[in-house]
Each structure stands twice: as C-alpha cells, then as structure tokens.
Amino acid sequence: QVQLVQSGSELKKPGASVKVSCKASGYTFTSYAMNWVRQAPGQGLEWMGWINTNTGNPTYAQGFTGRFVFSLDTSVSTAYLQISSLKAEDTAVYYCADGTTWGQGTLVTVSS
C-alpha cells in the first residue's frame, strides 16, 4: 500500500541543522509532488511548500525561504527537508504529504 515513512524525532540546539527524510513506497515516486507541512505545538497545519519529484524544482511558501531546503533522492524514493540555523520557534512536527497520503510526522525540538 502507499506509504510515507519519515525519520525519527530530533533534538537539536539553537543554531544547528536538521535533515528530515520521507521515504515513499507502494507507488511510483515521481507520480506525485511532495508537500511539506509544519504543525507547531497546539497549533494548526501550515503549508511550507512542495517539490516537483520529476524535476526536483522546489517551491517555498512565504516564511519558509532561506533556512529551509527541499531535496530528493529519486533512486531511493526519498524526499528531504533540511532546516539550518535552527531557532526555538522551529520546534514542531513536520509532515510530508503527497496527493492523499501523509507521513507519520517528525518531531523536531530545538532547545539549549
């Protein structure tokens, strides 16, 4: 069945970087764009942007430019989200999602 499996929780210090992975299975990886969504503690869903899985071209939503990078490794059907210069306010659960399937989420905690 179609599945998106994300990497595990991360605890990082301010200023560090983190890379979250999202491995797709059960379908042709390049058939659907991959979206990234953030959910801060106790808050709603916020769209971060998407990456074209055919071309690798990313599109970032307002507020997610500069420190956020989407990338792919199509050889292993995996999408990545990298966040650099982490801040406390980056603490959130990060989800990948294609057309209708969501990953299980990755909690990134930024704390000194």
Partner 1 sequence: NFMLTQPHSVSESPGKTVTISCTRSSGSIASNYVQWYQQRPGSSPTTVIYEDNQRPSGVPDRFSGSIDSSSNSASLTISGLKTEDEADYYCQSYDSSNQVFGGGTKLTVL
Q: Where do contacts with partner 1 occur on this chain (CB under 8 A)?
A: 35, 37, 44-47, 50, 59, 61-62, 95, 97, 99-105
Q: Could you tell me the smallest distance in angstroms from the CB atom of residue 78 to partner 1?
A: 18
- Closer residue to partner 1 in complex, CB, 9/85: 9
Q: Work out whether the CA dihedral 33, 34, 38, 44 comes out positive or negative.
A: positive
Q: Are 97 and 37 in contact (CB under 8 A)?
A: yes
Give the number of C-alpha atoms closer than 13 A to the C-alpha of residue 17, restricted to the C-beta side: 10
What H or E segment, with its residue span, contains residue 79? strand 78-83
- Closer residue to partner 1 in complex, CB, 68/103: 103
- Closer residue to partner 1 in complex, CB, 58/105: 105
Q: Could you tell me the smallest distance in angstroms from the CB atom of residue 104 to partner 1?
A: 5
- Closer residue to partner 1 in complex, CB, 74/104: 104
Q: Could you tell me the smallest distance in angstroms from the CB atom of residue 1 to partner 1?
A: 10
The position carrying tokens 């420190």 is 67
44 CB-near residues (< 8 Å, 6+ apart): none
